[in-house]
Amino acid sequence: MIEGNLMKSIPRSAVVTGAARGIGAAIALRLARDGFAVGVVDLDADQCAATVASIEAVGGKVAVAGADVSRSEEVAAAVEQIADQLGGPTVLVNNAGITRDNLLFKMSEDEWDSVLGVHLRGSFLMARAAQRYMVEAGWGRIINISSTSALGSRGQVNYSAAKAGLQGFTKSLSAELGRFGITANAIAPGFVVTDMTRASAEKVGLSFDEQVEKALVKIPIGRPGRPEDVANVVSFFAGEDSAFVSGQVLYVAGGPRG
């Protein structure tokens, strides 16, 4: 078990972006339960208090950094701060995201740029900052959170383009970094109950119950997703059992997608 022996000698440190709530918070907690020290990153560090408390409650070690992931200087400072406190990160989960939904003819350049900036530019900047620690360790895991919207979604040309771009980004990282012992995979959640999906219901004039009912028509399993459903897959990709899995996109959507 070369992989297992190596795993014992490398820093068990992870960074999760967009970790203040929802899917990001669930991922951070799951990785802490798996034995990783976890650096949680969000736009406002103070908003991560609940995530930090949940990690500390299970005996986990945690550091928090505030950063706009679309700004290179803030990303560099956040990753360096976490590395100083927890050791160089060997797991990176690019989860930070925003929505600025609109139909194409109404969409502003700012709505396009801000979504692409957080999802794509942010993932690029975080991966670039974190990979040097992984290369040094000879082991790493980069996990990008895409979406079923990568397949196309009305009123989300910006979000869909960003999430599809993350899938190509993931495959390219896999090809480029594999020789350093680093894998890269993407997870594409379907409908998951979060503050973001609740907000999207309001934007289209639906109650959240109505939105869930509409979503369930397309989910064979018959229930909406939970943040923990995504966190469970992150746990797999971040661990030893996924050592020979790289460049893949796994749809976590309660049924076949992609």
**Is residue 78 within 8 Å of residue 61, measured between CB atoms?**
no
User: Hey, which bits of the chain come out as E strands?
Assistant: 13-17, 37-42, 62-66, 91-94, 140-145, 182-189, 249-252
* Nearest partner of 190 among 174, 212, 169, 161, judged by Cα: 212
Residue 251 designated active-site: no
**Which is it for the CA torsion 243, 245, 251, 254, positive or negative?**
negative
Rg (alpha carbons) of the chain, rounded to whole number: 17
Distance between CA atoms of 190 and 77, rounded to whole angstroms? 32
Distance between CA atoms of 19 and 22, rounded to whole angstroms? 8
Distance between CA atoms of 254 and 27, rounded to whole angstroms? 18
* Residue 246 CB partners (closer than 8 Å, separation 6+): 174, 178, 183, 184, 185
Tokens linked to 44: 């406002």
Residue 209: Cβ-neighbour burial (10 angstroms; 0-12, 13-18, 19+): exposed
- Which entry of 133, 159, 169, 237 is annotated as an active-site residue? 159
How many residues does this entry show for the chain? Answer: 258
Catalytic residues: 159
